[in-house]
Structure 1
Amino acid sequence: PHGFFIDADGYIWTSDARGVGDKGHQVMKFTQDGTLLMTLGTAGVAGDGEDTFDGPADVAVAPNGDIFVVDGHGNNRVVKFNKDGEFVMSWGEAGTGPGQFNEPHSVAFDSQGRLFVGDRVNERIQVFDQNGQYLAEWPGIMASGMDITEDDVIYVADYQLRLGIVIANANDFTEIGFIENAMPEGVTVDGMGNVYAGEVLPRNLKKFVKN
Structure 2
Amino acid sequence: MTVPITNNLSPKENELQNGQTVGANEFKYKLNANWGVLDSNQYPVENCHDLAIDSQGRIIMVTDNTRNNFLIYSKDGELLDSFGTEFPGAHAVKIVQEGDEEFMYVVDSGWKLNRHWDGVSINEWDSPYNKVVAQAGFIAKVNMQGDILFTIGHPQTVGAYTPDMPFRPTDIAIADNGDLYVTDGYGSDYLIHYDKQGRYIRHWGGHDNQDENLNLANTHGVEIDRRDPKNPVLMVSSRAECAFKFFTLGGDYIRTLKVPGAWVGRPVFKSEHFYVPVCWSDINGKNEEDSGFIAIFDKNNQVVANIGGEQPVYQNGELQPMKTSWNLFNHCHGLCVDDDGNLYVGQWRANQSYPIKLERL
* Fold shared by both chains (TM-score > 0.5): yes
Structure 1 residue 38 and structure 2 residue 166: aligned? Answer: no
How far did residue 24 of structure 1 move?
4.6
How far did residue 198 of structure 1 move?
0.9
How far did residue 191 of structure 1 move?
2.0
1:16 counterpart residue number: 108
Mapped partners of 1:30, 1:196: distance in 2 = 23
Normalized against structure 1, the TM-score is what? Answer: 0.88
How far did residue 41 of structure 1 move?
1.1
1:198 alignment partner AA: G
1:201 alignment partner AA: R
Mapped partners of 1:94, 1:148: distance in 2 = 28
Retained in 2: the 8 A contact 1:76–1:94? yes
1:90–1:32 Cα change, 3 Å: same
Retained in 2: the 8 A contact 1:110–1:152? no
Divergent runs of 4+, >2 A: 47-53
Structure 1 unmatched runs, 5+: none
1:196 counterpart residue number: 344
Mapped partners of 1:71, 1:152: distance in 2 = 28
Residue by residue over 1:155-181, the C-alpha shift from the partner in whole angstroms, topping out at 9 and shown as x without a partner, is 111131273100002x42112222112
2:357 counterpart residue number: 207
How far did residue 201 of structure 1 move?
1.2
How far did residue 87 of structure 1 move?
0.4
2:297 counterpart residue number: 168
2:170 counterpart residue number: 57
1:4 alignment partner AA: V
How far did residue 98 of structure 1 move?
1.0
Normalized against structure 2, the TM-score is what? Answer: 0.53
Retained in 1: the 8 A contact 2:154–2:167? no
Higher relative contact order (CA 8 A, sep 6+): 2
| SS of the residue 1:145 aligns to | coil
Bigger mean CA offset, 153-162 vs 126-135: 153-162
How far did residue 117 of structure 1 move?
0.7
Mapped partners of 2:147, 2:190: distance in 1 = 29
| SS of the residue 1:117 aligns to | strand
Structure 1 residue 28 and structure 2 residue 140: aligned? Answer: yes
Aligned partner (choices 85, 110, 117) of residue 198 of structure 2: 85
How far did residue 144 of structure 1 move?
2.6
2:216 counterpart residue number: 101
How far did residue 58 of structure 1 move?
0.5
| SS of the residue 2:280 aligns to | coil
Retained in 2: the 8 A contact 1:26–1:53? no
Mapped partners of 2:95, 2:300: distance in 1 = 26
Structure with the greater alpha carbon radius of gyration = 2
Retained in 2: the 8 A contact 1:146–1:187? no
Retained in 2: the 8 A contact 1:116–1:128? yes
How far did residue 49 of structure 1 move?
2.2
Q: How many residues matched?
A: 207
Q: How does 1:66-145 map to 2 (within 5 A)?
A: 66-94=179-207, 97-111=212-226, 112=228, 113-139=232-258, 140=260, 141-145=262-266
Structure 2 unmatched runs, 5+: 1-89, 113-132, 282-290, 309-327
The CA RMSD measured in Å over matched residues stands at 2.7
How far did residue 48 of structure 1 move?
5.7
Amino-acid identity (%): 22
Mapped partners of 1:185, 1:70: distance in 2 = 15
Mapped partners of 2:154, 2:207: distance in 1 = 23
2:274 counterpart residue number: 154
